[in-house]
Amino acid sequence: MQRYRTFTRDEVKVIFVLGGPGVGKGTQCTHLAQDYGFSHLCAGDLLREEQARPGSEFGELISTCIREGKIVPQEITIALLKNAMKDEVAKGRTKFLIDGFPRKMDQAIKFEEEIAVSEFTLYFECSEEVMLQRLMKRSETSGRADDNIESIRKRFKTFIDTSMPVIDYYRGMNKIVTIPCEKTKEEVYDLLVVKIKDRLTL
């Protein structure tokens, strides 16, 4: 039988994780991965690794996009995710949290056409004011080239213009699970676990 996608829905369970910059996607995914055995793949981390890889032909492009808060061309991000997923599946892992993806409609369409169909998308919802506070705190230690006020403003704008349409698209398919994220990380986590268990056997 011909294979249309890299992985079938029986082989892998994919949860996308979206939300504005600084909302706490990484923190919550790390926690979930520890407690429930998810593989946590962060699109931004994969891009930063590729950017830093000696000899990468995409290093400069990725670095510019990240600083400017722009979305890296989907081919690059999807190839990185596909390789990372294959490595995890080879180790017997089947449950994925894909953090910070899909940030743009073309990423959503291409990934689901070629790699795997998602179960649903977690949308971490939060005011810009709270996200800004969290990012400014993170900037004291993160060393990230985009944790500065100019880049943060651009990232907020890209989130509204480019990523919200992805959330609207999945909402129309009843595939959005919204998590309010203004409370403490412990309170957010407890709610997150309850909401995931409504949709998936953990």
* Own/partner long-range contacts of 48-55 (Cβ < 8 Å, ≥24 apart): 50/76, 50/80
Is the separation of the CB atoms in 202 and 36 below 8 Å?
yes
Nearer to ligand C5P by Cβ, of 145 and 194: the residue is 145
Which does residue 69 bind out of Mg ion, ligand C5P, none, counting CB within 5 to 8 angstroms by kind?
ligand C5P
14 binds ligand C5P (CB under 6 A): no
Minimum distance, C-beta of residue 14 to ligand C5P, in the bound complex (Å): 14
132 binds ligand C5P (CB under 6 A): no
Residue 185 backbone phi and psi in degrees, to 5:
-65, -30
Find the angle CA(14)-CA(115)-CA(110) to the nearest 5 degrees: 105
Binding mask 152-171 for ligand C5P (x = CB under 6 A): ---x----------------
From residue 162, give the alpha-carbon distance in Å to each of 46, 73, 77, 93, 104: 20, 13, 16, 31, 5
By CB under 5 A, what part of segment 22-61 binds Mg ion? 26
19 binds ligand C5P (CB under 6 A): no
Select the residue interacting with ligand C5P from 6, 61, 70, 185 (CB under 6 A): 70
